Amino acid sequence: DQQVKQNSPSLSVQEGRISILNCDYTNSMFDYFLWYKKYPAEGPTFLISISSIKDKNEDGRFTVFLNKSAKHLSLHIVPSQPGDSAVYFCAAQSQGGSEKLVFGKGTKLTVNP
């Protein structure tokens, strides 16, 4: 049973445009969400996160939106740059002191010059 779903395996956008990566979750106990970015042959690196008490968090070109009622979050990258081409993983953690992050399967973003 997949608790964190990234339904788009890939996304292609033009440089300078907006990239929107989506993530859905099923576990209502999740209270913190993270996005990781992964380049080939490297480990994932933390990008941005959001707590369930917020609906938006912004860091430079990256903004994460959380819609708790829909159990949906999205990562917006504006403007997209070729260096943003990577696999993006959505991850979630539940309240209650759980040590574990649950990851989605990832979305491969390609930003074309």
| Residue 110 near another protein by CB under 8 A | no
Query: Which uninterrupted H or E stretch holds 81?
Result: none
Shortest gap between Cβ of 47 and another protein (angstroms)?
Answer: 10
Q: In sequence order, what are the residues at sequence separation of 6 or more whose Cβ sits closer than 8 angstroms to the Cβ of residue 69? A: none
Among 9, 10, 59, 67, binds another protein (CB under 8 A): 9
Which among 10-18, 53-61, 62-70, 89-97 is the span making contact with another protein, rule CB under 8 A?
A: 89-97
CA–CA dist 45, 31 (Å, integer) = 20
Among 34, 66, 75, 77, binds another protein (CB under 8 A): 34
- What DSSP state is assigned to residue 80? -
